[in-house]
Amino acid sequence: MSTIMNMLCRVGQIRRCAASLSQTISQVAASRQKHTLPDLTYDYGALEPHISAEIMQLHHSKHHATYVNNLNVTEEKYQEALAKGDVTAQVSLQAALRFNGGGHINHTIFWTNLSPNGGGEPQGELMEAIKRDFGSFQKLKEKMSAATVAVQGSGWGWLGFDKENGRLRVAACANQDPLQGTTGLIPLLGIDVWEHAYYLQYKNVRPDYVKAIWNIINWENVSERLQIAKK
Q: Provide the annotated binding site.
A: 59, 107, 192, 196
Question: Where does residue 155 fall: left (phi above 0), alpha (psi -120 to 50 degrees), or beta otherwise?
Answer: left
DSSP state for residue 217 in the 8-state scheme: B
How many residues in total does the chain contain? 231
CA nearest neighbour of 169 among 193, 187, 156, 155: 187
Residue ranges of the binding site for Mn(2+)? 59, 107, 192, 196
Q: How far apart are CA 102 and CA 97, in angstroms?
A: 8
Question: How does strand 155-162 pair with strand 186-192?
Answer: antiparallel
Helix/strand/coil for 59: helix
DSSP state for residue 196 in the 8-state scheme: G
Phi and psi at residue 188, to the nearest 5° = -115, -45
CA nearest neighbour of 145 among 207, 203, 93: 207
